[in-house]
A and B are shown apart, each in its own frame.
Chain A
Amino acid sequence: MDAIFLQVLNGLDKGGAYALIALGLTLTFGTLGIVNFAHGALFMLGAFCAVLFNKIITFSVKVKDESITFFDAYKEQPYLEIWWGDIGSTIIDYSIPLSLLFTIPVMLLIGVIMERGLIKHFYKRPHADQILVTFGLAIVIQELIRTFFGANPIPSSAPAIVSGSAAIGAWFGLNDSLVYPWWRLIYLVFSIIVIFAVFVFLKFTTFGMVVRAGMADRETVGLLGINVQKRFTIVFGLATVVAGLAGAMYAPILPPNYHMGMDFLVLSFVVVVVGGMGSLGGAVFAGFMLGMLQSFASMNEVKAIIPGIDQVIIYLVAVIILLIRPRGLMGREGVMDD
């Protein structure tokens, strides 16, 4: 029972990340009709926003390291600590949550530049071309990050106060020894809030209504005389920000490395397709569902019955769903049918 409870949490947690990435992906697809293979790279960029922010606030003075005698080595002491003492240390401790404030404008800027500079020229091009050019872009982004940050994962810690585990068992009247990492709980809540916010935004603002209308029928919205171009840019920026936030918050769970985008890319595409291309609800549902399935397939009891199932479950489910439901779980007719 405890084990199942924990796996449910794991599944929700994973699902939260999948859903966040897939949400942006399906949004760009549904409104802009763009298949963005660089979306994983945007997630990675988000995580590196957190890293960069941390680097900036821990910008340091170099102090000669006396403990190393073989050669000249330097220790680093952040200016923030020198100037503000303990307050500085606290700010540094909270660098991940604070970095969100940094991530949003940066990712928005990246998104706008990307859409204005590259993506908009591909609205009329075939999907294959879109896949290819964004795939190329993903390679470029990833290699640039490697050039600046190296290939090694960069440890990023959550604020000390939430770096431990919550006694979650006690909350639910289960076994007292049942714990779950604070940060993962925060991530789960965070992802639900962001998903909710995106839905509210699309549901209750006029902008959102136009976007939803665009997802339903792209041509008509264009005919209504609405400035679609500007809205496309904003939608793309929004998707970029969501991916970036998902990445930044994921940094304490998975130390960011330049390749993490590619690792998530295939998965997030599977999520989007299983949910139905262009369906927001589908992406969220499929994200949580696949996260949950992956969690449970990794249980020893399950693996004992079907060896290796944990490695293929996601793809297996994707294949089955696509063969049974041609447009994914919640896909509408007419999207990507050609």
Chain B
Amino acid sequence: MKISIKSNLIIMLIFITIVLSAPIWGKVIGAAYPDLLQKFAIFALFAIGFNILFGLTGYLSFGHATFLGVGSYTAVWMFKLFSMNVLPAIILGTLMSGVFAYIIGYLSLRRSGIYFSILTLAFAQMAYSLAYSVLTPITNGETGLQLSQQDPRYLDALFGVAVSDGLPSTNFFGLSMSGYSGFYFCAVILIIGFYVSLKIFRSPYGLKLTAIKSNQKRMKYTGFNTRPYLLSAFMISGMYAGLAGSLMAVTDPLAGAERMQWTASGEVVLMTILGGAGTLIGPILGAVIIKYFENIFSALNTAELHSIFSFMPKFMENIFVFITNPFVGDGWHLMLGVLFMLVVIFLPGGVLEGLGKVTNLFKRILGFKSTKQGASKGESS
């Protein structure tokens, strides 16, 4: 299949440049601080993984946050038991989610369509309820699993890592994982994750997944056993989620059960659809948009709105502040809901399709021949 004439190399170079320069372009939109940039990277990774399942096979999982949570809990336990070095944490976090994804996927993939969605949702809700209550010895319930001074950290003790006065912080062979170094670490993982996703999209394996989405019945009569394809895709996307979850623990060593709630699963669905399901870049775009809303729009208040619109005449300024006010601050959820509806109604291909339309419009205005929308032709089914 032809996704694009662009070669992998060029796409990767552009992608790497954009990701690593985030602290610079982030300043333009007021997002240049480590925590938000880390979140961009982590949730982009989460959404990329979700997209491998949903975007390629069309199976809509409503329980992916489970794997995010499993990755986080595993990572924090690694910090507590073995070492503050992040390597064991992210490796085991990813593997553990893979195991969970295998079990849940094995059962859920026996059904398709909305039955599959409800099965994943049911598993996720069970995991969440148990983590919140009965499994408290492992998860520390509502407060969330935290590091403590008294943790054994056998590996660190073995290698004689000095015990600090306060809580130890996560590191990658001595490089601290908070602040910008933490972001760059996440960014590198994101780049690797994106590369893997790019390879999958352009492999025969990826093509077969897309074909499953397009017509699963035919795939069976064509001689493919679709179950292992679906299960492997489910596991890969679960492992992405686990990796994202362990990165959350790497940048901030705390894991809470609400990470696994169904609304958290819903969030990644929103991200993927908002950006453009089935496209390479769409989910990343969606993740960035939603996290940006959550962190920046939610903090806007009337005073700041006034200063944003201060370039207008006073009465216009007041009108605009009046209109926008319900959508920012504590109203950012409303903003999200409206935006989301607009995208689903008018742009089934997500924001990416919108951008494609705008680009084509400009091209037409400028006299270029309009191009076929190849890349954004991945709507859900």
Contacts and interface: CB of A to CB of B under 8 A. Distances in A.
A132 B334 contact: no
Contacts of A132: 269-270, 273, 340, 344
A144 interface: yes
Interface string B113-135: 11101110111011001101110
Contact of A307 (B111, B113, B134): B134
B123 A338 contact: no
Contacts of A277: 114-115
A337 B129 CA distance: 30
Nearest to A273: B118
A111 B115 CA distance: 26
The listed residue with most B CB atoms (<10 A of its CB), out of A144, A318, A327, is: A318
A128 interface: yes
B171 interface: no
A136 B174 CA distance: 44
Interface in A285-313: 307-308, 311-312
Nearest to B336: A139
Contacts of B30: none
A35 B123 CA distance: 20
Contacts of A318: 118-119, 122
Contacts of B344: 129, 132-133, 136
Nearest to A312: B126
A135 B123 contact: no
Given A307-B134, A308-B133, A143 B333 contact: yes
A322 interface: yes
Interface in B91-113: 107, 110-113
A312 B130 contact: yes
A136 B341 contact: yes
Q: Which label, helix, strand, loop or mixed, suits the secondary structure of the B interface?
A: helix
B345 interface: yes
B122 A147 contact: no
Give the interface SS of chain A, mostly helix, strand, loop or mixed: helix
Interface residues of A, number: 42
Interface in A110-164: 118, 121, 125-129, 131-133, 135-140, 142-144, 147
Interface in B328-381: 331, 333-334, 336-338, 340-341, 344-345, 348, 379-381
Interface string A250-278: 00000000000010001001100100010
Interface in B161-203: none
B70 interface: no
Contacts of A273: 114-115, 118
B67 interface: no
A270 B111 CA distance: 15
Interface residues of B, number: 43
Interface string B270-314: 100100000000000000000000000000000000000000000
Contacts of B341: 133, 136-137, 140
Contacts of B34: none
A86 B133 CA distance: 50
Given A133-B344, A311-B133, A323 B334 contact: no
Contacts of A125: 348
A56 interface: no
Most buried by A among B130, B132, B334: B334
Contacts of B111: 322-323, 326
Given A129-B380, A139-B333, A315-B123, A336 B113 contact: yes
Given A266-B121, A318-B118, A319-B107, A140 B345 contact: no
A95 B362 CA distance: 59
Nearest to B123: A319
B23 interface: no
A143 B334 contact: yes
Nearest to A135: B266
A176 B130 CA distance: 39
Interface in B243-276: 262-263, 266, 269-270, 273
A107 B3 CA distance: 47
Nearest to B338: A140
A143 B331 contact: yes
Nearest to A306: B134
Contacts of A133: 341, 344-345
A326 B336 contact: no
A316 interface: yes
B254 to A, nearest CB: 23
A5 to B, nearest CB: 28
B326 interface: yes
Contact of B331 (A118, A136, A147, A270): A147
A304 to B, nearest CB: 13
A171 B151 CA distance: 61
B348 to A, nearest CB: 6
B118 A322 contact: yes
Contacts of A142: 333, 337
Contacts of A266: 121, 125, 262
A112 to B, nearest CB: 19
Contacts of A269: 118, 121
Nearest to B266: A135
Contacts of A137: 337, 341
Given A308-B130, A315-B126, A319-B119, A121 B60 contact: no
Nearest to B342: A136
Given A135-B266, A311-B129, A319 B336 contact: no
Given A129-B380, A307-B134, A311-B129, A136 B348 contact: no
Nearest to A138: B337
Contacts of B263: 262
Contact of A121 (B113, B334, B340, B345): B345
A324 B25 CA distance: 53
Contacts of A127: 113-114
B334 A140 contact: yes
Interface of A: 35, 118, 121, 125-129, 131-133, 135-140, 142-144, 147, 262, 266, 269-270, 273, 277, 307-308, 311-312, 315-316, 318-319, 322-323, 326-327, 336-338
Q: Give 5 closest A-B pairs by Cβ, nearest first.
A: A139-B337, A308-B134, A136-B341, A143-B334, A315-B122
Given A125-B348, A327-B115, 10 more contacts: A133-B344, A136-B344, A139-B333, A139-B334, A270-B122, A277-B114, A311-B130, A312-B130, A315-B129, A336-B113
13 contacts: A128-B380, A129-B380, A131-B117, A132-B344, A137-B341, A139-B333, A262-B263, A266-B125, A308-B130, A312-B129, A318-B119, A323-B110, A323-B119
